[in-house]
Structures are given as C-alpha cells and as structure tokens.
C-alpha cells in the first residue's frame, strides 16, 4: 500500500521511515489505568500544561483594562431589557457584542440599580434576584454571586480578547474560569452573603444570550450592596 | 501516475474519489473514518457545498493515522488542490503536512478539531466543546440526582477535543461531592473499544449508576455493553448528536447528548475557502467557536443529521 502511494526514488527510505514512525507510534503507551480514585484536581486532562498561567494573565489586565472597559461600555440594563423582551436579536444588534456572527451568542455589558428580592445560596452557583428600579417587587434579573460562576460572558465580551490568540480550547476555557475566579475573589467574596435580602444593589456586569433560560443571568464585574 | 495514485487510493486507503483529475477547481476534503456518522456528515456537508460553489471534490479519510494523513496531503499537493478542508488526525502531528501544503500555496481550513498553532490554517472552525461539555455535564448531574458512582469514557489522547470535553465535564461534576468517579478510561472515540472497556469496567464495578462519554459512538458502545449485562437502566450521556443516539434517546436508552453543528461547520469551512480562493481573505478570525445544543427526550425528535430541524 505504502509502495504504491510512495514516490519512486525515495521509495525505500520512505517505507523504512514510515515503518519506523509507525513502530514508534504503536509503542506509545496510552494511560489506561483507573484514575477514578484520585482526588479532584488530580485528573490528567490531555493538553493542559503549565505554559499558560490564566490567573496571572487575568490579574495583569483586570484593574488596568477589564474594569475600565466595563465602566466605559456598559449600558443601562433597563434600556437593553426593554428591547430584549421583544426581540433578542434586535437587542443584540443594538446593544450586544460577539466576536463573530454565526453560532455565537450575544453578550451584553450592562449596569443598573435595584433591590434584592430573593437570595439563592443553597446552590454553589448562588444567585440573587434583583428588582430593577422602578420596583414592582418581582425579580427582573439574577446576579451570580458565586462561588461557582456559570457562563463565559466576561471573556466573551472583551473586544481585546480573541480565541485566535490562544493555543487551544483548553487555554481559552481556563481563561474564562480565571476571569470568573477573579470576580469571586476580588468582588463577590466580600459580600455579606447572609444579609442580602431587601438590600439595595448597584452593579456593572455582563449577561449572555443563553438557550432556554427565563431571567437573564448577570455576571457582575462591579457590585455594591447597601 | 495519477491513475496509479487513484488506484492505490481506492483500494488501499478506502478513499472516495468523486472528481475529474483536474486541480483547476479542486477542493480536497479529509476527515477521519466515515464509520462514525459524525465524520461522514462533515464530508457530505462539505462536498455538497463545494459542488454548489462549482468545485470538483476529492473526499479522503485518514482513519486517525497521522502517516496516512501526511500521504493524503501529498496527494492534495500533487493534484494542485485549491483548498484543503480538514478534520485532522492529531493536534501536533498535523502541523508538518499543513506547512507543506501552505508552502505549495494550498490553504487549509480546519473543522471540528483544532491544532495547537495559529497562523498556519486560514480558518479553524470548531464546536464550542467546553460550552457543550458543561451542558452535557449539567444534564448528567441532574439525571444522576447529584449522587452516585459513575464512569467516564474519554476520547483519543492526540485530539484536543478529548481533553476539553473531559475538562468541561469535570468542571461541572466535581462540584458535587456525592458523585464518585470509579473509572476513567480512553476508548479512543471507538464504539467497539468502548464496548470492550465497558464490559471489564462493569465486572469491576457492578453497581455503577452512570456513564458519561466524550462522544456518541463511545456512548453507543457503552450502552450496548450495559444492556448485554442486564444494566440497561444505567444513565448514559454522549456528545455529538448522532441519529443513532437520537434514536436511542427516543427509545429510552441513552439519556442525553450534545449536538455539535458538524454539517454546518463543514459547509462554513467550504464557504470560507471559496471566499479565500476568490479574494485572498475571509474577513473572519482564524479560530471560530460554534455553540452546541443539549439534546434530550424533549427535543431529540427535531434532530436530523447533526442539525436541528425547525
């Protein structure tokens, strides 16, 4: 088979080389042992290396670029939601950002004020429901307060961050997790989680267009509770 | 020589040759084996779009063999292809042949699997595997009732998609301390291999409650092994959105999967290749993520050949 598709003059060396490479390849030991007994964080994930330090990357740009970007670009959430409620695509075109069109959800940088009308801290992905001003007692959106923060909205709303600049999806996923971790350690861990209900809140953050969700889910970058 | 190559191709490399022997407007489409309907769907989608746009096509398979892929690149170069549409045979092993093609003036458009460099391919269009894996992981946690023992079947080690999906699953599942992983093995994306691995895992762990898999063919293999062992009620979740798994979901077998828009991704790659051939640019970023969709019994009926029907 190899002979027929090989090139005349270098035939033998090609065959030899390919056999050699093949032999090497077939000698590769695929880790097959049961790793289930290892603790969390000890699982080997293919292609994860220490060459990229996402936490350091995020810390370097957080105060210098990310927070100012949100301060500058965020829009009143009530303006966005009034269009969003009627037509998500129209809201996206008017207020949203995404790096490319097809197959990507819109991200909305928003700011707003309201009062906290419900608190869900049972799930590790904790949230508070916020009734925006002027209030009617019902939540208009939820804000994630961690420790587990879902979505990749922070990463995906930054115009100076592009997937093309990262080695692979693993790095890009770790980058998003590092942004969410930064929000938790720098912003959300300082909240008095037991005394949030009924408090006034102001925030700057991002929400992403998601499949089949009810209320928009804001990841805050700045949050103040009074 | 051309005939010889074609002869070798048909007989030895399990290729499909569907074009005249002119490199004039030739697009070469290279994927893993069509035994997995996911890759077949990519090839069909790409070929259809290429023909619509007036290209001749040469559809080849590398069977996840990097050496064979290298030879297929040489074929594409020898034939003077205008562009190569590629679902590659290894994130690192693919770099050298892509460099050869680029040197010969042939642009590569990657689908499904990325390589660990940028600036070599014109486009790398991949499913948002992390987003999809988190969807699948969250559904798995819900199905498991947040507790119980489970097994993970991982994909091929040379493929970044195996890593990223496992990462997504664990970033979700590891939040739940009552979910205990009792085995984690690679079945290399393969249905028969998943069947065999699952058989021995069941013997060692007869009480497992769930199996989460890096793709649908491994989910099919695991489900078959579980059924053969009288454990058809074990919760199995896959990834891809194949018609086989759709049918299993509707029949109450596999519980969920995650749809990758494979057919559309292949067509997008051809559209971008066409734009590049005509204008020398695509006006899009090289690396492009396409979001995935959770499939369960509520929406499985709408799934057909890696796309949702409205």
Q: How far is A213 from chain B (nearest CA, A)?
A: 13
**The domain spanning residue B267 has which CATH number?**
3.40.50.2300
> Is B287–A162 a contact, with Cβ atoms under 8 angstroms apart?
yes
In total, chain B counts a number of residues equal to 310
Co-location of B244 and B95 in the same domain: no
Residue of chain B nearest A44, judged by CA positions: B163
Interface of B with A in 44-63 (CB under 8 A): none
Co-location of B49 and B112 in the same domain: yes
Token digits of residue B264 = 């559309």
Measured CA distances, B20 to B6, B48, B101, B195, B266 (Å): 11, 16, 21, 41, 22
> Is B13–A165 a contact, with Cβ atoms under 8 angstroms apart?
no
Q: How far is A45 from chain B (nearest CA, A)?
A: 5
Residue B231 contacts residue B188 (beta carbons within 8 Å): no
pLDDT in the model for residue A41: 44
Mutate to test the interface with B, among A11, A47, A149 (most CBs of B within 10 A): A47
Co-location of B150 and B215 in the same domain: yes
> From the first residue on, what is the mean pLDDT of each consecutive set of 10 residues in chain A (226 residues)?
44 49 43 41 72 95 98 98 96 96 94 97 92 94 94 97 94 96 96 96 96 86 96
Residue B122 domain-assigned (yes or no): yes
Burial B268-307 (b: 16+ CB within 10 A, else e): bbbbbbbbbeeeeebebbbbbbbbbbbbbeeebeebebbb
Q: Which residues of chain B have pLDDT under 70?
A: 1-23
Whole-number Å distance between alpha carbons of A165 and B18 = 37
List the B108-111 sheet strands across, edge first.
B16-18, B56-61, B26-31, B83-86, B108-111, B123-127, B287-290
Contacts of B175 in chain A (CB under 8 A): 124, 148
Burial B146-171 (b: 16+ CB within 10 A, else e): eebbbbbbbbbbbbbbbbbbbbbbbb
Number of domains, chain B: 2
Count of Cβ atoms closer than 10 Å to residue B90 Cβ: 20
Pairing of strands A141-147, A125-132: antiparallel
Co-location of B152 and B249 in the same domain: yes
Dihedral sign, Cα of residue B75, residue B78, residue B81, residue B87: positive
Co-location of B119 and B152 in the same domain: no
Residue B70 domain-assigned (yes or no): yes
Residue B156 domain-assigned (yes or no): yes
ipTM of the prediction: 0.85
Whole-number Å distance between alpha carbons of B144 and B138 = 10
Mutate to test the interface with B, among A30, A36, A151 (most CBs of B within 10 A): A36
Interface of B with A in 10-29 (CB under 8 A): 12-13
Co-location of B272 and B227 in the same domain: no
Q: Which helix (H) or strand (E) holds A225?
A: strand A216-225
Residue of chain A nearest B293, judged by CA positions: A211
Which residue do the tokens 């023909």 mark? B51
pLDDT in the model for residue A44: 80
Q: Which helix (H) or strand (E) holds A67?
A: helix A67-73
Residue of chain B nearest A161, judged by CA positions: B285
Residue B28 contacts residue B58 (beta carbons within 8 Å): yes
pLDDT tens digits for range B80-136:
999 999 999 999 999 999 999 999 999 999 999 999 999 999 999 999 999 999 999
Contacts 24+ apart (CB under 8 A), B121-124: B121/B286, B122/B272, B122/B273, B122/B276, B122/B282, B122/B286, B123/B269, B123/B272, B123/B273, B123/B282, B123/B284, B123/B286, B123/B287, B123/B288, B124/B286, B124/B287, B124/B288
Phi-psi region of B274 (alpha: psi -120 to 50; beta: other; left: phi over 0): alpha
Whole-number Å distance between alpha carbons of A52 and A49 = 7
Q: Which domains does chain A have, with CATH numbers?
A: 60-225 (2.40.50.420)
**Secondary structure letter of residue A97 according to DSSP:** B
Closest CA to B132 of B254, B214, B188: B214
Residue B309 domain-assigned (yes or no): no
Token digits of residue B78 = 């020898």
Residue B38 domain-assigned (yes or no): yes
Co-location of B80 and B193 in the same domain: no
Co-location of B99 and B7 in the same domain: yes
Co-location of B141 and B236 in the same domain: yes
Co-location of B89 and B33 in the same domain: yes
Whole-number Å distance between alpha carbons of B52 and B148 = 51
Token digits of residue A222 = 């700045």
Residue B12 domain-assigned (yes or no): yes
Contacts of A177 in chain B (CB under 8 A): 171
Token digits of residue A212 = 């089949």
Token digits of residue B173 = 């599942």
When CB atoms are compared, the residue of B170, B264, B291 closest to A105 is: B291
Co-location of B162 and B222 in the same domain: yes
Residue B160 contacts residue B93 (beta carbons within 8 Å): no
Contacts of A47 in chain B (CB under 8 A): 91, 116, 160, 163-164
Residue B138 contacts residue B171 (beta carbons within 8 Å): no
When CB atoms are compared, the residue of B67, B160, B183 closest to A169 is: B160
Co-location of B166 and B226 in the same domain: yes
Pseudo-torsion of CA B231, B232, B238, B244, nearest 10°? 140
Residue B297 domain-assigned (yes or no): no
> Is A164–B268 a contact, with Cβ atoms under 8 angstroms apart?
no
Residue B310 domain-assigned (yes or no): no
Domain of B50, in residue numbers? 2-126+262-289
Residue A177 has φ and ψ, to the nearest 5°, of: -60, -35
């Amino acid at each position: 088979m190899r002979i027929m598709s090989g090139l005349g003059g270098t035939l033998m060396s090609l065959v030899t080389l390919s056999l050699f490479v093949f032999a090497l390849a077939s000698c590769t030991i695929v880790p097959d042992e049961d790793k289930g007994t290892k603790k969390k964080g000890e699982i080997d994930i293919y292609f994860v290396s220490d060459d990229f330090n996402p936490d350091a990357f995020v810390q370097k740009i957080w105060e210098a670029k990310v927070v100012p970007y949100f301060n500058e670009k965020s829009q009143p959430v009530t303006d966005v939601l009034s269009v969003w409620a009627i037509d998500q695509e129209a809201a996206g075109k008017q207020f949203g950002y995404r790096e490319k069109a097809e197959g990507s959800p819109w991200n909305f940088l928003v700011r707003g004020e309201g009062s906290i009308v419900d608190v869900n801290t049972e799930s590790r992905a904790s949230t508070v429901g916020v009734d925006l001003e002027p209030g009617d007692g019902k939540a208009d959106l939820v804000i994630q307060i961690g420790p587990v923060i879902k979505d990749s909205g922070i990463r995906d709303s930054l115009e100076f961050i592009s997937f093309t600049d990262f080695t692979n999806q693993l790095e890009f996923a770790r980058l998003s997790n590092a942004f969410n971790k930064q929000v938790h350690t720098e912003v959300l861990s300082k909240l008095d989680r037991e005394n949030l209900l009924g408090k006034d809140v102001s925030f700057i953050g991002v929400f992403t267009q998601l499949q089949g969700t009810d209320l928009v889910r804001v990841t805050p970058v700045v949050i103040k509770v009074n | 020589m051309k005939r010889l190559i074609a002869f070798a191709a048909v007989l030895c490399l399990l290729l499909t040759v569907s074009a005249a022997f002119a490199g004039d407007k030739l697009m070469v489409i290279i994927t893993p084996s069509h035994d997995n309907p996911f890759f077949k769907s990519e090839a069909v989608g790409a070929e259809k779009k290429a023909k619509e746009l007036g290209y001749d096509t040469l559809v080849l398979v590398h069977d996840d063999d990097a050496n064979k892929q290298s030879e297929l690149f040489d074929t594409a170069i020898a034939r003077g292809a205008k562009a190569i549409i590629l679902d590659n045979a290894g994130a690192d092993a693919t770099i050298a042949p892509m460099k050869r093609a680029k040197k010969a003036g042939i642009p590569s458009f990657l689908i499904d699997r990325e390589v660990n460099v940028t600036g070599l391919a014109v486009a790398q269009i991949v499913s948002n595997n992390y987003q999809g894996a988190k969807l699948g992981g969250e559904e798995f946690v819900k199905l498991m009732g947040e507790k119980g023992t489970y097994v993970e079947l991982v994909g091929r080690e040379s493929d970044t998609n195996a890593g990223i999906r496992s990462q997504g699953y664990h970033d979700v599942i590891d939040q739940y301390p009552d979910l205990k992983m009792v085995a984690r093995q690679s079945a290399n994306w393969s249905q028969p291999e998943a069947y065999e691995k699952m058989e021995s895992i069941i013997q060692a762990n007869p009480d497992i409650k769930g199996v989460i898999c890096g793709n649908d063919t491994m989910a099919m293999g695991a489900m078959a092994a579980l059924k053969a062992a009288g454990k058809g009620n074990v919760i199995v979740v896959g990834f891809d959105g194949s018609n086989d798994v759709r049918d299993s979901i509707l029949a109450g077998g596999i519980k969920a999967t995650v749809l990758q828009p494979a057919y559309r991704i292949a067509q997008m790659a051809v559209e971008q290749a066409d734009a590049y051939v005509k204008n020398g640019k695509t006006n899009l970023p090289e690396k492009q993520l396409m979001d995935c969709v959770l499939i369960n019994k509520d929406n499985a009926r709408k799934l057909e050949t890696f796309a949702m029907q409205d």
